[in-house]
């Protein structure tokens, strides 16, 4: 499994754009990059997935540089309800994914 490295936690003010980075230096050719979000007392939920360049959906954008050794999840204009743990996962076909501890994002009023 490709290992990922994320900051443990970060704070952001309401209304700002939040960029969460993830390092995955040993990503394999067939690996996809997937992000999940977990609110307190809930199970994680899928946010976005990408292979290269940029992917955007109604929730977030995912930026992946050409070497694919890192990725950045961008949350536009966060609100208090975006306070959650964000997991960056790397794997082939969404099989055995290592969630780890994720990145605790706290949105401050």
Partner 1 sequence: DAGVIQSPRHEVTEMGQEVTLRCKPISGHNSLFWYRQTMMRGLELLIYFNNNVPIDDSGMPEDRFSAKMPNASFSTLKIQPSEPRDSAVYFCASREGQGPGYEQFFGPGTRLTVL
Distance CA 94, CA 64 (A): 17
> What is the smallest separation between the CB atom of 86 and partner 1, expressed in angstroms?
12
Distance CA 29, CA 33 (A): 11
> What is the smallest separation between the CB atom of 34 and partner 1, expressed in angstroms?
8
The verdict on 39 binding partner 1 (CB under 8 A) reads no
Distance CA 89, CA 14 (A): 26
> What is the smallest separation between the CB atom of 83 and partner 1, expressed in angstroms?
17
Residue 54 or 77: the one with the smaller Cβ distance to partner 1 is: 54
């Amino acid at each position: 499994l490709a290992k990922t490295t994320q900051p443990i936690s970060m704070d952001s003010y309401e209304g700002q754009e939040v960029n969460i980075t993830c390092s995955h230096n040993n990503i394999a050719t067939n690996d996809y990059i997937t992000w999940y979000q977990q609110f307190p007392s809930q199970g994680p939920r899928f946010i976005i997935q990408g292979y290269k360049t940029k992917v955007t959906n109604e929730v977030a954008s995912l930026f992946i540089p050409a070497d694919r050794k890192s990725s950045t999840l961008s949350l536009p204009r966060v609100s208090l309800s975006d306070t959650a743990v964000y997991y960056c996962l790397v794997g082939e076909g969404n099989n055995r994914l290592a969630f780890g501890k994720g990145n605790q994002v706290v949105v401050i009023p």
